Structure formats: C-alpha cells, structure tokens
C-alpha cells in the first residue's frame, strides 16, 4: 500500500494571498521525510492552487514519483507529456466546484473519445495512466477497455456517509477494487479520507495506493507536515503490514 500525499492544499494557502509561501515544493521534502511514497498534485485549468512553476520544480527536485492530476484537455495533456511525471490521473473538472466532486463520466462515446486520445498520448511518452472513477462496475469495464494501467476509486461517498450507509459504501469500494484487479487494473483510491475513516479502506487487500491531502495538511497545521504524514503512513502500515 503506497501513500501519495496531495500537496495542493499547501498551494491553496499560498494562493489565498497570491504570495510565495507556503511553498508546496518545500512541503514535498517534508512529506517525503515523513514517509510519503509519492506526491500528488492537481494542475487545474484555472490554476487556483498548483502553478506550472510548482510542477516544473517538483519534477526536478522530488525524490518520490509525481502523480499529476489533470483534466483530459489538449493543453493539459501537452504539459503532462512535456513534464513526464511517473503517473497521470485523469480527472473531471468543473470550474465552479470546490473540489473534484465525482468520478469521470464514461457513459457516452463523446466522453470516452477525448480520454482515449489523452491516454494514448500519455502512454506514448511512457507515462503510467490512471482514471479517477466512481466505484462502479460499468466504469471499471470502460476503464479496462480504454487500456489504462490503473483506476483511482472515488471514496467521497464513503467519506460522506455514516453507519449502515458507510458500511455499504465500503463494500462497494471493496467490490470495485476486486473487479478492477480481476480486469488487470491497479486499484487506487482517494478523496475525503481522514485519520478517522481511512483504516477500513486501507485494509482492502486489492488497493495498492491511496491519495490523501486535506486531512494530512489540516493536521500538519498543528503538528507539522512530517509528523502528520508519518502518522497517516503508520495507520496504513498497521492495516497492511507488508
């Protein structure tokens, strides 16, 4: 189980003042020292947090793999192909959303066409590809047909429910992870995971990577980033001793 730490939220604080601190590139060093296996950054089309300069510098300085999240637009795929991060996760993007609200819509040919083209361009330059999808059977089959290496299962509904509804969402994630694996896809997950809710998700044996941001950065405000990351890494190791 790999822990990828999403450092967008550091850039969000910086952009609130349009200044040069806190710097997500410096944060990346602390995340790595705390035990992050990789770093996730989402370059949004409106550049509301991560900037091109951040990705430039991270590509040069990070010691762990970069998972770049982008929409499957022409401009973003051109940038990604130039940067060549280890992995690109294609995500849906709406300007008005506060954060990514759901998985990619894969139902119509008009939605799958641009994704197929983006995946092809990324794979052509050696980038591992992943699709951020809802944990649904149909989305997994379409992802497998599109030829990606991995899917990231959206854990938002799991995170936003409680009691019996959460138990049902956990089962949905476990089924989706198992189906993804049986289709030959690596299974990742993320969104809304916290120190309080992550354990049962981390325990799903077919999952191999979690992307976690907001909860870690929130704790880091109080305990520091290195410690916040190492406390999350500890939970993952407890659930999945290697």
User: Catalytic site residues?
Assistant: 42, 69, 191
List the Cα angle 185/191/196 in 5-degree steps: 115
Contact stretch for ligand PXP (CB under 6 A) within 18-26, 30-38, 184-192, 199-207 = 184-192
Return the number of the residue (8 or 226) whose C-beta is nearest ligand PXP. Answer: 8
Contact stretch for ligand PXP (CB under 6 A) within 23-31, 107-115, 189-197, 219-227 = 189-197
Element (DSSP H or E) covering residue 180 = helix 163-182
Binders of ligand PXP among 103-142, rule CB under 6 A? 132
Residue of 14, 28, 190, 207 interacting with ligand PXP (CB under 6 A): 190
| 17-to-43, 63, 66 alpha-carbon distances in Å | 18, 28, 26
DSSP state of 188: E
Residues 6+ away with beta carbon under 8 Å from 221: none
Look at the block and give the residue holding tokens 């790999």: 2
- What is the closest distance, in whole angstroms, from the C-beta atom of residue 229 to ligand PXP in the complex? 13
- What is the closest distance, in whole angstroms, from the C-beta atom of residue 191 to ligand PXP in the complex? 4
- What is the closest distance, in whole angstroms, from the C-beta atom of residue 20 to ligand PXP in the complex? 22
């Amino acid at each position: 189980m790999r822990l990828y730490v999403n450092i967008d939220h550091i850039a969000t604080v910086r952009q609130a003042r349009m200044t040069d601190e806190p710097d997500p590139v410096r944060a990346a060093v602390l995340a790595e020292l705390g035990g992050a296996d990789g770093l996730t950054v989402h370059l949004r089309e409106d550049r509301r947090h991560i900037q091109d300069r951040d990705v430039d510098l991270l590509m040069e300085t990070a010691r762990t793999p970069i998972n770049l999240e982008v929409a499957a637009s022409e401009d973003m795929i051109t940038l990604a192909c130039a940067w060549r991060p280890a992995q690109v996760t294609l995500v849906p993007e709406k300007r008005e959303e506060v954060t990514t609200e759901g998985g990619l819509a894969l139902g119509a040919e008009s939605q799958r066409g641009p994704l197929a083209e983006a995946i092809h361009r990324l794979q052509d330059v050696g980038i591992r590809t992943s699709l951020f999808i809802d944990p649904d059977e149909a989305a997994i089959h379409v992802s497998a047909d599109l030829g990606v290496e991995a899917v990231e299962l959206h854990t938002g509904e799991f995170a936003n429910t409680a009691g019996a509804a959460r138990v049902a969402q956990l089962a949905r994630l476990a089924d989706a992870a198992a189906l993804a694996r049986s289709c030959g896809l690596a299974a990742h997950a993320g969104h809304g995971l916290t120190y309080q809710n992550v354990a049962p998700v981390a325990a799903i044996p077919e999952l191999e990577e979690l992307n976690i941001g907001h909860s870690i950065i929130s704790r880091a405000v109080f305990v520091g980033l290195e410690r916040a990351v190492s406390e999350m890494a500890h939970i993952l190791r407890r659930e999945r001793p290697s």
